[in-house]
Chain A
Amino acid sequence: MATSAAKLLPKEEYILPGTRSCAACGLMLTYRHALKALNPGKTIVAVPASCMTVLHGVYPVTPVKTICINNPFGATGAAASGIAAGLKALGHDDYTVLAFAGDGGTYDIGIQALSGALERGTNFLYICYDNEGYMNTGTQRSSASPAGAITSTTPVLSKLQHKKNMIGIIEAHRIPYIATASPSFPLDLFDKVKTARDTLGSRYMEIHAPCPPGWGFPNKDLIKMGKLAVDSGIHVLFEIKEGFFQLTSRSLNLAEKGKRKPVADYVKGQTRFKKINQQQVEALQDFVDKRWNEFLERHQKNS
């Protein structure tokens, strides 16, 4: 049963006030709702060098009520595999092994270890929080950055390539559960993490995490920007259970009766797109349309 109202979410907070994350951090909100869906007392989370490291606090204090094992940037999939193997060998079968990495740690440097972990059928949940660049090191380009975005390593021309199709790569591993989510749709996010928690085998989630300082929009627009991303089809909400594709939440509504907003509406509120020209907007729209149609076709085939 889908969670129907925010008041039905667990009341307990696992991230205490006073984290070192930026104000209006999309990752913070993502992690907050994800932890509510897990059992943080019986969860061990593997974290690479990232904004998550900062969020988890500077020694000897941590604002997060769970067990976090930090690991080097490219090692998350392998570290999670080791945690899972160690727990299994010691007979601690009641833990959820969670890997929580950014897009750089997933799409780029961590892809090999992640692919290995998925191929081995490691019993764990991997959540990629996608803030579309190396935000912790100062907004450098990643292969998840959208075309047309100015980053600190695409400072003049903007990024020339579209976002990598990571979901396609993950799906090629034929794992039992894949889902996307957004902290702007917390009930959908919560339900999916719960489903992922209760699924056996390798599970992968990709959560779009808007980043006010990295993308250049006011803090107050965090939720709005996440919603605009979904409303425009820049980010699409779905789950793939054993290969069975279904749109969910707002993306499902858009498929059934709504009308997607143009990507122009999405890009205009962010300074990272300040140099985007008409041609690039059209190219981005075309990229989004094609992907949306592919998703829609898969969804309709299954409904």
Chain B
Amino acid sequence: MSDVRIITANTAAALAAKLCRVQVISAYPITPQTPVTEELAELVETKQLNAEYLTVESEHSAMASVIAASQVGARVFTASSANGLLYMHEMLHWAAGSRTPVVMACVNRGVGAPWTILNDQQDSISQRDTGWIQLYCGNSQEVIDSIIQAYRIAEQLNIPVMVCYDGFILSHTTTPVDIPPQELVDQYLPPRPPVFGIAEYSAMNVNPLILSDPRPDPDGNMAPGYMDIRYRLQQDLIAGLDIIEKADKEFSKLFGRTCGGLVWNYKMKDATHAMVSFGSLASECTLAADLLRQKGLKVGVIGVRSYRPFPKAGLLNELKRVETVTVLEKDVSYGYEGALAMDLKSALYDSGHHPKFSSYVVGLGGRDVLPKTLADETYKAITGEISHAWIDIKSQ
């Protein structure tokens, strides 16, 4: 029997952490993430969730403390947004480098200055190169499901996972969400395996100083150097493509629904034109695609769920027959283009299939994006000149 509740994505995230039986939570409040931390605090204080809750004095400390708790074996959770996420930056690298399976909800918000509390994805995109897995959610159901999957992925790979969803658009908007039953979550996600040696007497130096080249350990076996260890992180992230896909498949077997694995598609079967995006913007693109189909254009949508690792093969497979690609995203690499557009273009270059390619930056700092606007711009991209532009600039 299903348990469907009308809740926000923030409530979905808090419930997901509870269902995953997290043992240590540490967080610092920032809009629009705050309800996640508040709801978890209440769950802990009312003993509905048996966890340690650290109300730390900064995001840097939030991430530092969940990393340390994870290193001694606890399943951990935190959440942040925008400048809070940026304040964690040093610790985000540390989480991945120290191979801790931290799971974090990133409630996407534009970055100051100037201050905005409203949505775009500049915050998480700017943390792209920290070595984290980044999953983007199109709706609140995907938020709860992706956080549950994230623990399975993180603990299998010992790589942290950031589950990203759009501030206010999802975080503060109530929609029906099917709450997974605890027994099934327990079946899907067993307790975290004990961490090496922490609970027994031993000398250990975790994340010490390391040299560039391999060195022998006391038994004469060669231990890796810095670059070798970093190469393992890279290899494991690439191997994560399969793990992420499998985690979603296993999930769908138990729960009867999927988040799309690495990339999801909408009406791509016969499509000659693809709109590519992520997060709730990708969901909105499906409405734009329908508008364009009314005009007789065979338009489909590809939603990138896993941005890191980048699902190159999956994307190329979806795009192999299309004539045009239009990327729409709420982030930009200042001085050039949107991050997804750049990554996708580089993937297409390698493949030798070079469809007409346009990209648009939209909706920064909460600027409203209507399906009609997306459809109009994509129409121009399909029928007109190649374009790399910002949509809907109102004052120059």
Question: Could you list which residues of chain A lie within 8 angstroms of chain B, going by C-beta atoms?
Answer: 41-42, 44, 46, 53-54, 56-62, 64-72, 74-75, 77-83, 85-90, 92, 112-113, 115-116, 119-120
B contact residues around A58 at 8 Å (CB): 208-211, 215
Q: How far is the CB of B217 from chain A (nearest CB, A)?
A: 4
| A82-B60 contact in complex given A57-B205, A58-B211, A61-B218, C-beta closer than 8 Å | no
- Bound-state CA distance A228–B365 (Å) is 61
Contact B68 A116 (CB under 8 A): no
Q: What secondary structure prevails in chain B residues at the interface with A? A: mixed
Residues of B in contact (CB 8 Å), total 46
Q: How far is the CB of B63 from chain A (nearest CB, A)?
A: 8
Stretch at the interface among B48-56, B151-159, B232-240: B48-56
A contact residues around B205 at 8 Å (CB): 56-57, 59, 62, 64, 68, 70
Question: Could you list which residues of chain B lie within 8 angstroms of chain A, going by C-beta atoms?
Answer: 23-24, 26, 51-52, 54-58, 60-62, 64-74, 76, 90-91, 94, 198-199, 201-211, 215-218, 223
Contact B207 A70 (CB under 8 A): yes
- Bound-state CA distance A41–B66 (Å) is 23
- Bound-state CA distance A119–B54 (Å) is 11
- Bound-state CA distance A61–B215 (Å) is 9
Contact A78 B211 (CB under 8 A): no
Contact B65 A64 (CB under 8 A): no
- Bound-state CA distance A90–B71 (Å) is 12
Contact A86 B208 (CB under 8 A): no
- Bound-state CA distance A81–B26 (Å) is 10
Q: How far is the CB of B52 from chain A (nearest CB, A)?
A: 4
Contact A59 B210 (CB under 8 A): yes
> CB-nearest residue of chain B relative to A87?
B72
- Bound-state CA distance A41–B203 (Å) is 8
Give the residue of A46, A82, A112 whose beta carbon is less than 8 angstroms from that of B26: A82
Jot down 20 A-B pairs with beta carbons below 8 A, ordered by A.
A64-B205, A65-B203, A66-B204, A67-B206, A70-B206, A72-B90, A77-B61, A78-B60, A78-B64, A78-B68, A81-B56, A81-B65, A83-B68, A83-B72, A85-B74, A86-B76, A90-B72, A112-B57, A116-B56, A120-B55
Give the residue of A46, A59, A60, A115 whose beta carbon is less than 8 angstroms from that of B68: A46
Contact A86 B24 (CB under 8 A): yes
Give the residue of A68, A69, A75 whose beta carbon is less than 8 angstroms from that of B61: A75
> CB-nearest residue of chain A relative to B210?
A59
| A59-B57 contact in complex given A70-B206, A70-B207, C-beta closer than 8 Å | no
> CB-nearest residue of chain B relative to A75?
B64
Contact A56 B52 (CB under 8 A): no
Contact A85 B69 (CB under 8 A): yes
Q: How far is the CB of B193 from chain A (nearest CB, A)?
A: 12
Contact A89 B23 (CB under 8 A): yes
- Bound-state CA distance A41–B200 (Å) is 8
Given contacts A59-B209, A74-B60, 18 further A-B contacts (CB under 8 A): A54-B209, A56-B205, A59-B205, A67-B206, A68-B205, A71-B207, A75-B61, A78-B56, A78-B61, A78-B68, A80-B68, A81-B26, A86-B70, A89-B69, A90-B72, A113-B61, A120-B55, A120-B56
Contact A70 B23 (CB under 8 A): no
Q: How far is the CB of A34 from chain B (nearest CB, A)?
A: 16
Give the residue of B58, B69, B90 whose beta carbon is less than 8 angstroms from that of A83: B69
Give the residue of B23, B64, B209, B216 whose beta carbon is less than 8 angstroms from that of A86: B23
B contact residues around A80 at 8 Å (CB): 68
B contact residues around A67 at 8 Å (CB): 198, 202-204, 206
